[in-house]
Structures are given as structure tokens and as C-alpha cells.
């Protein structure tokens, strides 16, 4: 709702008082709750457009002017029969102004206390996370942090633990087990070095190494995409592995193997096909996976990982 702004040189406080009284006139037929809401909303919106220091002084000035109007009985602005109601509104509005003054005072104190907390707690938070990466999980109480900083430290530590476990106990072991190209031939020492590299990436960020955050972000994005690649590779392996297994029972190929000069040895061909079927149905599932499904799965996953960037 727009309110007319009377001409002449007016201070922000004078202008706001006139606007508030005009809003009161426009909404005098509304409920007290609706009228009060409109008054407060306009006051709050107007103060947000001022500098914090100006808003503070304006609030104090408005409070004084409203108090003066209350003392004067508002006779110059209240229609007949409205004086008492407007007087109550002015008193209520002044209470809201005083509440805003208290909020302003609290906000003015907030930056200094927040800065002090950051200066105090951040080095200890960084040290606690660095020790965690060195496998020295220090209790939060031992860091001597304020309660809020302590909770923040625990949050970051658990997120860090998840990121480490995701790669060190989820992604890398799976890649090693299925022996994708990037993990082939990896011995125990190489595996240990790889796991340490994972921790070092995070420690470099804590130490402020240039480019470390961008590098870590790339790895985390890659790990996030990994399970999408894993799912796609699995579906591809199921399709190709099933086709490969059914090829073992291809009757035309079996007949060709038992072709004779004057036809086919159907008895031998049938015996061969039932023998293949019995072998496939009696073999452990792991054997079938390794023979028919693992090769296309590994190839597809390696291709995805190669396309998305080397690990």
C-alpha cells in the first residue's frame, strides 16, 4: 500500500509519523489486529530502507513524537469518537517501536561477539579436524570450545567422516575388488598410499593450500557420480551377461558342431545342449557372475570413469 508523502522539508521521523497516522485512518474500520499489522508492517519496511544508525535515531524520534501525540490527546488527527481508540493505537505502536529499538541494540552487539567467537574458535576447530585426519580423534571437550562452536565442530567432523568413509570404505574398495583399469595391479603399499592421499586432500584444504578446495570439489563430484555410473554399468552387465549366457545354449551353433556328411547327429547335439544347461544351472552364482557379467560390468564402469576424468 502506498501512502502519500506531504511536501515540505520533513525529517524521516516526521514523515513516518504522518504515514502511520494516515494508515490508521485508512484502516480504522478494520479489526484492531489487522490495523495494527498494517501499521507495524509499514514501519518495519520503512526502517529497512535506512542505514542502521539512521534507523536507530529515527525510531527514537518516532517514539518521542508518538508519546507527545498521546499526551496531546490526538485531537488534531482523530475524528469525533475516535480519540480514545487512536490513543490506544498510538500507545501500542510506541511499544512496537521500543521493541524494534531493543532488536536494533542486540543486532549492533552481534557482529563483535560473532567475530570474537570466530577468532577464538576457528584455530581450535581446524586443529581438531587436522588431528582427526591423523587418526587422533580428540574429544570436543578437550578443544575448550564454546557450546555453539563445539556443535559446529562435531557437525563438520561427522561430515568429514562420511566423506572419508564414502571414498575409503565404499568407492575405492569396490573399484579394487572389480579391478577396473585404475586399480589393476595395486599392491598393499599402493593401497595404503591411496588411502593416505584421501586424507591428505582434506588436510591440504585445512592448511589453506592453493587450489586444494577446487581439487577436493572435483573429487567429491566424481564420487557423487560414481554410484550413478555403478547403477548404469550394472544394468548394462545384466543385459550383456544374459545374452552371453544364452548364447551358450544357441542350438544352431551346437548343431553346427555336430554336422555330419549326410546331416546332423541330433542325439549328440541334444546331449551336448542338455550338458551345457545342467552345467549352467548347477554352478555357483559367483562363477556365473565372474564369467558372464563381470567383464561387461568392468568394461562399462571403466569407460564411464575414464570419460569423467581419471581418479
* Residue 296: other Cβ atoms inside 10 A: 19
Helix H segments across the chain?
Answer: 12-26, 32-48, 52-72, 83-133, 147-165, 172-178, 188-206, 212-247, 251-257, 266-282, 285-288, 294-308
Question: What's the mean pLDDT when you consider all of the chain?
Answer: 76
Q: Give the Cα separation of 238 and 235 in Å (integer).
A: 5
Q: Which pLDDT score is estimated for 158?
A: 92
Provide the grid cell at 86: 487512536
Q: Rounded mean pLDDT of 254-260? A: 79
Q: Give the Cα separation of 230 and 175 in Å (integer).
A: 10
* Residue 63: other Cβ atoms inside 10 A: 19
Any idea what DSSP says for residue 79? P
pLDDT tens profile 190-208: 777 878 888 888 888 888 8
Contact, 23 vs 38, CB < 8 A? yes
Q: Is 260 helix (H, G, I), strand (E, B) or coil?
A: strand
Q: Which pLDDT score is estimated for 240?
A: 92
**Number of residues written out for the chain:** 311
Q: Please determine, for residue 77, whether its predicted confidence score (pLDDT) is greater than 50.
A: no
For residue 227, the surrounding DSSP H or E stretch is: helix 212-247
Contact, 94 vs 70, CB < 8 A? yes
Q: Rounded mean pLDDT of 279-296? A: 88
Mutual angle of helices 212-247 and 294-308, in 10-degree steps: 150
Q: Rounded mean pLDDT of 127-131? A: 88
Kind of pairing between the strands at 263-264 and 259-260: antiparallel
Task: Kindly report whether the global pTM for this prediction surpasses the value 0.85.
Answer: no
Q: Please determine, for residue 80, whether its predicted confidence score (pLDDT) is greater than 50.
A: no
Amino acid at each position: 500500500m502506498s501512502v502519500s508523502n506531504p511536501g515540505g522539508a520533513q525529517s524521516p521521523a516526521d514523515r513516518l509519523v504522518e504515514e502511520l497516522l494516515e494508515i490508521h485512518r485508512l484502516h480504522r474500520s478494520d479489526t484492531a489486529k489487522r490495523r495494527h499489522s498494517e501499521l507495524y508492517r509499514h514501519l518495519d519496511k520503512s526502517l529497512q530502507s535506512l542505514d542502521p544508525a539512521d534507523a536507530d535515531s529515527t525510531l527514537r524520534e518516532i517514539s518521542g513524537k508518538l508519546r507527545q501525540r498521546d499526551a496531546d490527546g490526538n485531537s488534531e488527527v482523530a475524528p469525533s469518537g475516535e480519540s480514545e481508540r487512536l490513543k490506544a493505537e498510538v500507545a501500542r505502536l510506541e511499544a512496537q517501536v521500543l521493541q524494534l529499538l531493543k532488536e536494533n541494540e542486540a543486532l549492533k552487539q552481534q557482529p563483535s561477539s560473532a567475530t570474537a567467537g570466530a577468532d577464538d574458535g576457528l584455530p581450535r576447530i581446524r586443529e581438531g579436524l587436522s588431528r582427526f585426519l591423523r587418526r587422533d580423534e580428540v574429544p570436543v571437550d578437550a578443544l575448550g570450545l564454546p557450546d555453539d562452536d563445539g556443535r559446529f565442530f562435531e557437525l563438520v567432523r561427522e561430515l568429514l567422516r562420511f566423506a572419508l568413509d564414502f571414498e575409503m570404505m565404499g568407492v575405492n574398495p569396490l573399484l579394487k575388488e572389480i579391478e577396473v583399469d585404475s586399480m589393476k595391479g595395486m599392491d598393499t603399499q599402493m593401497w595404503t598410499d591411496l588411502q593416505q592421499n584421501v586424507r591428505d586432500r582434506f588436510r591440504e584444504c585445512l592448511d589453506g593450500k592453493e587450489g586444494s578446495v577446487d581439487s577436493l570439489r572435483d573429487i567429491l563430484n566424481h564420487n557423487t557420480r560414481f554410484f550413478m555410473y555403478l547403477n548404469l554399468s550394472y544394468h548394462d552387465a545384466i543385459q550383456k551377461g544374459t545374452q552371453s549366457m544364452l548364447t551358450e545354449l544357441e542350438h544352431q551353433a551346437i548343431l553346427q558342431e555336430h554336422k555330419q556328411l549326410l546331416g546332423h547327429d541330433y542325439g549328440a547335439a541334444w546331449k551336448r545342449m542338455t550338458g551345457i544347461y545342467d552345467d549352467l544351472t548347477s554352478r555357483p552364482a559367483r562363477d556365473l557372475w565372474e564369467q558372464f557379467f563381470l567383464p561387461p560390468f568392468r568394461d562399462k564402469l571403466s569407460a564411464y570413469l575414464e570419460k569423467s576424468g581419471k581418479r
